[in-house]
Amino acid sequence: MNALGRRHRSARAGSATVVHVSPEQSFRSEDNKLRWNDRPVHDWYRFVLSFPPHLVGEYLERFGLRPGHTVLDPFCGTGTTLVECKKQGIRSVGIECNPMAHFATQVKVDWSVDPEKLLRHARRIAKKALETMSHEGLEESLPLFGHCGAPELPLRTLPEEASKLLLRNSISPLPLHRTLVLLETLRTHEDSDVGRHERLALAKAIVFGISNLSFGPEVGAGRPKQDAPVVDLWLSNVEKMAADLAVVRANADVKSDVFCEDSRRLGGVLPEASVDAVITSPPYPNEKDYTRTTRLESVLLGFVESKEDLRSVKRRLVRSNTRGVYKGDADDLLVAGHEEIERVASAIESRRIDLSKTSGFERLYARVARLYFGGMARHLAELRAVLRPGAQLAYVVGDQASYLQVMIRTGQILADLARSLGYEVVGMDLFRTRLATATRKQLREEVLVLRWLGE
């Protein structure tokens, strides 16, 4: 048994129950939404499960963070923490292994682009793409197939291997064709100064206007769209980007670094004792396949082109769902003997047996719970080397009941793991409550607040 496992063996269930709630920290459920005044830059492309910028701002203030400090988000997603830090003149670092989210964050913290050049180039691209579509008998301003009755050329499609990665019916044939025409135009007439911003604007248009995607407890396909004004949607997003850039460029030189890495393996990525604070929201143990949420734009923009590409991304994620569990995974060994994790895993397995659930995924429920907390323990252990003494940490986490309705008090278990690794547990702030889809019970979403005092 390793040292971490031995320390866990003596941990008592519930020993991490530290609830610290003040009126100003009791947030309503609607406070998870993006506020109007936060939209600049944050709204360029936002992961549907992102936590809100105003929550980041509150912890920047609470931790007393100012220019000269460095903030790390080791699960940075689409860059909420980094963008908010940059707005306030604070240096930030992000870690994200999903290549689409990593790309989005890189673009969202690049404010050096000349907004007028971005607009000029995008308008030229729009004109050329529309000319191509017109030549094919596909005027954007006309109803389906225009007045020609049918396109003059066959509709463009993705390569078969890439197409198989998509959720069924996530995008209709004609909007896909138009998107591929626009992508080809962007590649043919690429300008390295503005190209990344143009591609991100297209990613947002794909998700929220061009595709058939719908978002509820899980991403899925809604009512099919026969057609979509692809170029208009994209150009509108570029115009919003340009307007935001004109406002925020004064902070363009505030440093923000983003690494496409596994947050469980930080050695060699960041300098030792270089981070003053962590503000983040890791994945939850909730059976959501986070790669599905960004699958369509990841494939269309070329970040994931094959099953092997997808498998490579999943292997670098903290294990939070059964679709991301692989032979040879061993993070569960790090928490072997932890009393509460074993209780939860045993309860999940017992309920599976009682309910006669025998699918391959259901058989993995107990293991993925252990792997999740083992992965988070590995992350917290690795993180210690890059923290300055006195560093303050805020982890937005949520209770879960996704595995056969067995309650997992995520924050309490992570607090206990953090304490066993030498962190001080400062408290648990209630962020909001939300209604569980399956059980209709209220689940807590909390901010686990830690302090690293140093070895």
What separation, in Å, do the N-terminal and C-terminal C-alpha atoms of the chain show? 22
Query: Phi and psi of 399, rounded to 5°?
Result: -60, 150
Please say whether the beta carbons of 390 and 451 come within 8 A: yes
Residue closest to 179 by CA, chosen among 195, 157, 152, 148: 157
Please say whether the beta carbons of 25 and 430 come within 8 A: yes
Which residues, 6+ apart, have CB-to-CB distance to 269 below 8 Å?
95, 259, 261
Q: Please state, in angstroms and as integers, the Cα–Cα distance from residue 206 to each residue in 192, 199, 300, following that order.
A: 22, 10, 9
180/190 Cα distance (integer angstroms): 15
381/337 Cα distance (integer angstroms): 17
pTM of the model: 0.89
408/285 Cα distance (integer angstroms): 8
110/251 Cα distance (integer angstroms): 10
β pairing state of 70-73 and 275-280: parallel
Contacts 24+ apart (CB under 8 A), 66-70: 66/90, 67/91, 67/254, 69/276, 69/277, 70/274, 70/275, 70/276, 70/277
Please say whether the beta carbons of 33 and 52 come within 8 A: yes
31: how many CB neighbours lie within 10 A of its CB? 13
Query: Phi and psi of 221, rounded to 5°?
Result: -105, 130
Please say whether the beta carbons of 436 and 363 come within 8 A: no
E strands in 67-209:
70-73, 91-95
The pLDDT, as a whole number, for residue 22 is 36
Residues composing the chain: 455
Please say whether the beta carbons of 138 and 156 come within 8 A: no
- The DSSP call for residue 286 is S
Complete DSSP assignment for 102-136: HHHHHHHT---S-HHHHHHHHHHHHHHHHHHHHHT
For domain 3-111+252-286+321-452, give the fold.
Rossmann fold (3.40.50)
For the chain, which ranges sit under pLDDT 50? Answer: 1-30, 142-149
Query: Phi and psi of 253, rounded to 5°?
Result: -85, -5
The pLDDT, as a whole number, for residue 241 is 98
> What is the residue extent of each domain of the chain?
3-111+252-286+321-452, 115-251
The pLDDT, as a whole number, for residue 32 is 57
